[in-house]
Amino acid sequence: MTSTIFTIGFTKKSAEEFFRLLQEAQVRRLIDIRENRVGQLAGFAKYPDLAFFLDRIAGIAYSYQPTLAPSPEIRTAYRKTRDWGQYEKSFLKLMKQRRVLEAVDPSLFEGEVALLCSEAEADKCHRRLIAEMLAQHWSSQGHTVEVKHLHSDKRTPRKKRARTSHEPTDSI
């Protein structure tokens, strides 16, 4: 198996930027690893809208893997303590209990795949932990797996060009 596992979060991104990042990376499948994919705050990334947009805008397949999401207890504890080290330990223990290395179908990860969560950046997000765990596991079995994180490039939005006085207007 040869795979590039991209990670992406939707917060602090416009829909335009989100889909552009996925298209530029040539992602063929997005795997949603959020526990709650229908939350009101998800905007364009709310299910089932996201699956529709991925298909229609970018030709990207959508898959949902809630077993790769943290438990509400782990998230609550992190919100209270902000102890990332403890979050990592608890999350990796949960993944071991869920036996995700045995449960995840490697064929879902063939080629260019993106793991989706809400966090803007991957450094303190479970999607990074999952990507690294899967990459290490499959690499130890002789597969070629690379992990890349898609993030905002902080481009400035294009400014509208001012209309010159000699250009026609749309009004009659």
What's the average model confidence in pLDDT over 98-118? Answer: 96
Instruction: Name the token pair of 131.
Output: 């990507």
pTM here?
0.87
Would the pLDDT of 115 be above 70?
Answer: yes
- The b-or-e profile of 27-44 (16+ CB within 10 A means b, else e) is bebbbbbbbebeeeebee
Question: Which tokens go with 54?
Answer: 């991925």
CATH top-level class for 2-149? Answer: alpha beta
- Tokens representing residue 171 in the block: 């009004």
pLDDT per residue over 124-139, tens digit each? 999 999 999 999 999 9
> What's the confidence (pLDDT) of residue 164?
40
Name the residue among 113, 153, 88, 133 with its Cα closest to residue 30: 113
CA dist., res. 114 & res. 148, Å (int): 9
